Amino acid sequence: MEPINVLEYEALAQARMVASHWDYYAGGSDDEVTLRANRAAFERIRLRPRVLVDVSQIELATTVLGVPVQMPILVAPTALHGLAHDEGECATARAAGAAGTLMTVSTSATRHLEDIAQAATGPLWFQLYIWTYRQAEELVRRAEAAGYRAIVLTVDLPKMGNREKDRRNGLHTLHSTIMRTAYETEEDPAPIVATLTWDVLDWLRARTALPVMVKGILTAEDAALAIERGAAGVVVSNHGGRQLDTAISAIEALPEVVAAVAGRGEVYLDGGIRRGTDVLKALALGARAVLVGRPILWGLAARGEEGVRHVLALFHDELELAMGLAGCPTLASVAPALVRLP
């Protein structure tokens, strides 16, 4: 039977993947407390639905950094799609475009960013790790030339988190080999962003006309600094529970980040989104849209491009139903009063 929810794709994907590759996608750092918390935090938030509202028409379309999308559900940057399917990020990009949404392409993609752009049928953002300034400037130049719409600078990886499953499976060596092949270099692409400070935003904004998002924000303090340094917005994220274990979950961090940004930029969230009600809760707490990571990989591993399209359709339909049942016919009607926090 065709899966009827996103979580059913998880089991299909695991059954089709090499065990070590599955661990790479599924695993977190240390004891995986934050990995589990990303999901559990959504379950603790309760909805306060309104009734006797005309919900005969539900409107999901919005814009993200000025780019029209058909729903506030985007594809998050995730590494090495080629471990899930031979067509890798190219298949994901086609599926995102068919769903009317936007894909964020990872620096750690298994396909060249130009090939992904050529395959894409919808808008793209480019997620940037800075290994060296020379490498970063070249990637940004290539992304601009290929038509990407924004740069998403990931800042929560000054050192690699203690991902014990990957250490046991030797996945760091595989990752480095794939990345050296993708970027045609003999250099080890291990991130060196431990040397970076907030000055990197000045450096990056001086080298691109594209809007710059800062991904990996979990505090009001850092959100304010990002906006003050000229970021167009921030992504509330703990790297899917793969960096600092026991860090706050993304949805728990969202309210203080929204308050600190105070309308001066756009706020997005990733981490733990599995249901349309999760999306609705994030929107109610101030996110303009959410980014979905692992479920996209599940769809890709299970059924390729069609699987990704179906995962995105499931999210769309669940959000549409949740908005109707909550008495919210438009995204503008999704307000903080809709949720009760623990």
Residue positions annotated with a catalytic role: 239
Return the closest-CA partner of residue 257 out of 278, 227, 232.
Answer: 227
R_g (Cα) of the chain, nearest Å = 19
Residue 199 phi/psi, 5-degree rounding, is -60, -20
Cα torsion angle, 153, 157, 159, 163, sign: negative
**Cβ neighbours for 316, distance < 8 A, ≥ 6 positions apart:** 60, 70, 71, 73, 99, 276
- The owner of tokens 């790790």 is 129
